[in-house]
Amino acid sequence: MIEFLMPSLGADMEDGTLIEWKKRTGDSVKRGDIIAEVETQKGLIEIEVFDEGIIEKLLIEEGTKVPVGTVLALIDPIEVSLETKKEKPIELHPIQEKTTEGITQEAEREIHIKASPLAKKMAEDHHIALFQIKGSGFDGAITKEDVEHVIAQRDVIDKEKTVIETEKTVASSEAIRAAIAAAMSKSNREIPHYYLEKKIDLTKALTWLQEANEQRKVQSRLLPVVLFIKAIAKTLLDFPDLNAIWDNGLKPKKDINIGFVVALHNGGIMVPAIHQADLKTVDEIMQTLNDIIPRARAMKLRSSELSDGTITLTSMGDGGADAVFGVIYPPQVAIIGFGSISEQPFAENGMLGVRSVVNATLAGDHRATDGLTGSQFLNLLARNLQKPESL
């Protein structure tokens, strides 16, 4: 049976209204016959048929509007004409506009210091924070000259081996201190925290890590914290309520963006987010750390990176306290803390031994979840860390 389709008469024609059938069921048609009239935005156009046969059935009533490519009628080919091969017409789907949900462009809150690109590059190369330099260029912009001036000044100071006490750096750490104080006190005021702790055996994880690092160049060597981040991300897949925000009601988040607490050299912290940690491999997470930690310390983070975390991890690294109970970052509903890895006595099915162990803690917002959820999370986290190869 041959399908007679609504033809496309122009690249911009998307549909047509069948006004009148010129042939009825049972009529015979041959190549070039007018079979119907169709209304288009250009006016009424006669539609011709290119096949021979008897009209089996008219599928569309007069007056209906159909998209190009719709089957209008069925034609029974009486005898197969020379044209044996029937190419399949390409289905025409009209182009929908690609709608991108509005990306709310958050106002850049960074204080913008005017400096020429060259000056910025030189300052960065010499680890000089821009707010330490007085600009002499167009309306106060920092130029190459100004940077060179500071470098020269610092070399002089270096020689005298005195520690520079410029009040500007103090001011900045005060500013950071004030910001942290505000966030923490808001968190304690509004969020009823519950706290949980879990001791986790890291023997398998650390041996896997050592073997993994032996196969890697030193440049891409992995740190233990990478496994913690990956394990948290994997565990959160089963605990959506912990990967959420509280906005007079619990609102789970689709992406798993783990805020990573970075300690600044002269005090204070920054918490950039590792986006979609669940989708990243351990190597990609390590690369993300290599990017965000130095940028955090040089205060080069974009405000967007600081504001879309869905949960936070604070890790003591080695040589720190055994356990750390975090303060939740509003509007998040949980914070996970990893103490320092240390050799500890560890009992397992009755046997006592010395193992590399870490204390993992979870502080949860009791408005959003209960202790049971938190402890189940920590148990699964511990189990996931026993199978490092599958992280």
Partner 1 sequence: MNEDEIKKNIFQLLKKIAPDTEPSVLKPDENIRETLGIDSFDALQFIIALNEKLGIEIPEKDYGKTNTLSDLLSYIMNKIK
Partner 2 sequence: MLQSDIKTVQINEKKGLLLLYQMLLIRRFEEKAAEQYSKAKIRGFLHLYIGEEAVAVGVIQALNDDDNVLATYREHGHALARGIDADVIMAEMYGKLEGCSRGRGGSMHLFDISKNFFGGNAIVCGHLPIAVGMALASKKQKKTNITCCFFGEGAAAEGEFHEALNLAALWKVPVLFVCENNLYAMGTALKYSHAMTDIEKKGTTYGIESAAVDGMDLRAVIEAANKAVKKVRSEEKPYLLVCNTYRFRAHSMFDAELYREKTEVDEWKKRDPIPQYQQFLLQKGWISESEIELMEQKIEHKIQMAVDFAEAGTWEPLEQLTKFIYSEK
Partner 3 sequence: MENPVMNTTLTYREALKQGIREALQNDKDVFLMGEDVGRYGGAFAVSKGLLQEFGEERIMDVPLSESGFVGAGIGAALAGMKPIVEVMTVNFSLLAMDQIVNNAATLQHMSGGQLHVPLVIRMGCGISKQLGAQHSHSWEPFYAHIPGLVVLSAGTHEDARGMLRLALLSPDPVVLFEYTGMLNLEKEVAVDSDILDISKAKVLKKGKDITIITYGIGVYKCLDAAAELATVGIDAEVIDLRVLRPLDEFTFLASVAKTHRAIIVEDAWRSVSVSSEVSARIMEKTFYDLDAPVLRLCGIEVPIPYPAHLEEAAVPQIQDIVNAVKKMIHHD
The one among 143, 243, 312, 315 contacting partner 3 by CB under 8 A: 143
In the complex, minimum distance from the CB of residue 119 to partner 3, in angstroms, rounded to a whole number: 7
Pick between residue 224 and residue 330 the one whose CB is nearest to partner 1. Answer: 224
Query: Binding string to partner 2 for residues 42 to 81, with x set by CB under 8 A, is what?
Result: xxxx--x-x-----------------x-------------
Query: Residues 172, 213, 344, 375: which binds partner 1 (CB under 8 A)?
Result: 213
CA 203 → CA 124, 212, 301, 378, distances in Å? 41, 14, 35, 17
Angle at 257 between CA 254 and CA 258, to 5 degrees: 140
Note the helical H segments in the chain: 117-125, 144-160, 167-190, 203-214, 224-236, 282-297, 303-307, 371-386
Nearest CA to 13 out of 95, 127, 79 is that of 95
- Does position 151 interact with partner 3 (CB under 8 A)? The reply is no
Q: Are 15 and 65 in contact (CB under 8 A)?
A: yes
Q: By CB under 8 A, is residue 111 in contact with partner 1?
A: no
Span from 18-26, 75-83, 244-252, 315-323 in contact with partner 1 (CB under 8 A)? 315-323
Examine residue 144 and tell whether it contacts partner 3 (CB under 8 A). Answer: yes
What is the three-class DSSP state of 69? coil
18, 29, 196, 225: which one contacts partner 1 (CB under 8 A)?
225
C-alpha distances in Å from residue 334, one per residue of 37, 87, 127, 309, 321: 67, 60, 35, 11, 20
Q: CA–CA separation, 238 vs 231, rounded Å?
A: 12
Q: Are the C-beta atoms of residues 350 and 339 closer than 8 Å to each other? A: no
9 binds partner 2 (CB under 8 A): yes
Return the one option of partner 1, partner 2, partner 3, none that residue 119 interacts with (CB less than 5 to 8 A, by type). partner 3
Q: Rg of the chain over CA atoms, in angstroms?
A: 34
φ, ψ of residue 54 in degrees (nearest 5): -105, 140
Asked if 1 interacts with partner 3 (CB under 8 A), we say: no
266 binds, among partner 3, partner 1, partner 2, none (CB under 5 to 8 A by kind): partner 1
Verify binding: residue 150, partner 3, rule CB under 8 A. Answer: no
Query: Does the footprint of partner 3 cover residue 128 (CB under 8 A)?
Result: no
Minimum Å gap between C-beta 96 and partner 2 is 18
Among 30, 31, 221, 367, binds partner 1 (CB under 8 A): 221
CA distances from 176 to 124, 180, 217, 309 (A): 20, 6, 36, 19
Q: Which residues bind partner 3 (CB under 8 A)?
A: 116-119, 121, 137-138, 143-144
